[in-house]
């Protein structure tokens, strides 16, 4: 379906001062990166490691074994990567990693469904963010076939960062440099994205320590009224486009260009939840940058916790 070019252009929302966006509750202390040891997982690993470094969080590299026994050395090499980024000497002991404020553990689970394995691990251990690789041409990485990546996000009810293989990421896997400036947030009348905006402002500022910008995008005739998280009387500007939501979102992300697409979700409401099956795969396959699925906050905390 051809996307209509009629739209309203607005000035991006800037969040140089994170405090102006109110109180955020998304505190990243534990990151889980399920890996299948494939080339497609390398970019996702770099994003998970960089975010863990910035947040001084625990990073769990999780592998659900299959019928063929993989070598333990197949896990991503953290010290080698940090050395390549100029943060330590590869010959240093693991204590050098702790000095960076980072804790890393590698976990291999018994052969089982990847969805059930990851969900079981997350049920038993804290996880504030899950980072998954997706394969642009073949749906998802080797053992994350079909719609498994999206199923993991739905099953765990945790913020999930999808990193498309060969798409432009916001972390350079070779140098560790990060470029997270433009964040695109598709919005609808439900769920209200105000709390997500506050969390993303803190996320961007904490990761980069620099000024960032966000644009809210609604695909449809009438844009929702989006209140400022810290100033409910103030409405935030919303771009409008018409046409197929997937094409419109990815088209806008390419034109701006966006470094990250954030999709607010709330149970079975929200862009990621509404775009099911082949449509969800189209979002992940066509996205020119990483996609972050963000569950909305429940009363007194984040949904699903």
For the chain, give the DSSP string. Answer: -PPEEEEE--PPEE-SSGGGG--------EEEEE--SSTHHHHHHHHHHHHHHHHT-EEEEEEE--SSPPPGGGS--HHHHHHHTTSS-TTS-THHHHHTT-EEEEEEEPSS-HHHHHHHHHHHS--SEEEEEE-TTTSSSTTS-TTHHHHHHHHHTS-EEEEETTS--SB-TTT--B---EEEEE--SSS--HHHHHHHHHHHHHHHSS--EEEEEEESSS----B-SS-TTSBPPEEEEES-HHHHHHHHHHHTT-SEEEEEEETTEEHHHHS-HHHHHHHHHH-SS-EEEEEPEETTEETT-
The confidence score (pLDDT) of residue 170 equals 95
- Cβ-contact 155, 267 below 8 angstroms: no
The confidence score (pLDDT) of residue 227 equals 84
Q: Which of 213, 280, 204 is nearest to 249 (CA)?
A: 280
Q: Which of 35, 287, 291 is nearest to 142 (CA)?
A: 35
The confidence score (pLDDT) of residue 140 equals 41
The confidence score (pLDDT) of residue 151 equals 64
CA–CA dist 246, 163 (Å, integer): 17
The confidence score (pLDDT) of residue 183 equals 92
Q: Are strands 260-266 and 238-242 parallel, antiparallel or unpaired?
A: unpaired
CA–CA dist 183, 162 (Å, integer): 14
- Cβ-contact 149, 180 below 8 angstroms: no
CA–CA dist 157, 295 (Å, integer): 7
**pTM score of the predicted model:** 0.84
The confidence score (pLDDT) of residue 230 equals 76
The confidence score (pLDDT) of residue 113 equals 78
- Tell me the Cα Rg of the chain: 19
The confidence score (pLDDT) of residue 149 equals 59
The confidence score (pLDDT) of residue 3 equals 47
Residues in contact with 133: Cβ distance below 8 Å, sequence separation at least 6, in sequence order? 35, 36, 38, 40, 41, 42, 43, 44, 45, 140, 141, 144, 149, 162, 163, 164, 165
Taken in order of first residue, the domains within the chain and their CATH numbers are 4-302 (3.40.50.12370)
Predicted confidence pLDDT, tens digits, the chain (305 residues): 444 444 555 667 776 665 666 555 578 899 999 887 777 788 999 999 999 999 999 999 998 776 555 555 566 789 899 999 999 988 888 888 989 999 999 988 887 877 788 888 888 888 899 998 886 444 344 434 435 556 666 666 788 898 988 788 999 999 999 889 899 998 887 767 777 788 888 788 778 777 778 899 998 888 888 888 778 888 889 999 999 888 898 999 999 999 999 887 765 555 545 544 444 456 667 889 998 888 775 433 444 44
Residue with structure tokens 């810290």?
Answer: 230
The confidence score (pLDDT) of residue 19 equals 62
Q: Which of 169, 142, 193 is nearest to 287 (CA)?
A: 169
């Amino acid at each position: 379906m051809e996307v209509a070019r009629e739209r309203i252009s607005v000035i991006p929302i800037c969040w140089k001062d994170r405090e102006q966006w109110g109180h955020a509750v998304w505190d990243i202390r534990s990151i889980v990166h399920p890996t299948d040891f494939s080339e497609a997982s390398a970019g996702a690993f770099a994003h998970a490691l960089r975010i863990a470094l910035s947040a001084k969080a625990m990073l769990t590299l999780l592998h659900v074994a299959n019928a063929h026994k993989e070598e333990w050395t197949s896990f991503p090499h953290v010290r080698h990567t940090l050395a390549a980024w100029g943060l330590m000497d590869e010959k240093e002991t693991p204590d050098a990693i702790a000095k960076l404020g980072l804790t890393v553990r590698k976990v291999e689970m018994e052969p089982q469904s990847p969805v059930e394995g990851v969900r079981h691990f997350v049920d038993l251990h804290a996880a504030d963010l899950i980072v998954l690789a997706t394969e642009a041409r073949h749906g998802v990485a080797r053992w994350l076939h079909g719609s498994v990546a999206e199923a993991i996000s739905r099953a765990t009810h945790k913020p999930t960062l999808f990193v498309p293989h060969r798409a432009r990421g916001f972390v350079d896997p070779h140098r560790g440099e990060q470029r997270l400036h433009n964040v695109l947030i598709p919005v609808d009348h439900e769920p209200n994205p105000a709390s997500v905006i506050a969390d993303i402002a803190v996320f961007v500022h904490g990761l980069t320590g620099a000024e960032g910008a966000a644009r809210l995008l609604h695909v449809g005739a009438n844009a929702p009224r989006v209140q400022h998280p810290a100033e409910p009387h103030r409405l935030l500007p919303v771009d409008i486009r018409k046409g197929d939501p997937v094409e419109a979102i990815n088209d806008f992300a390419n034109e701006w260009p966006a470094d990250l697409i954030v999709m607010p979700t709330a149970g079975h409401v929200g862009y990621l939840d509404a775009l099911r099956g082949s449509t969800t795969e189209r979002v992940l396959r066509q996205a020119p940058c990483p996609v972050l699925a963000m569950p909305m906050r429940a009363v007194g905390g984040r949904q699903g916790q």
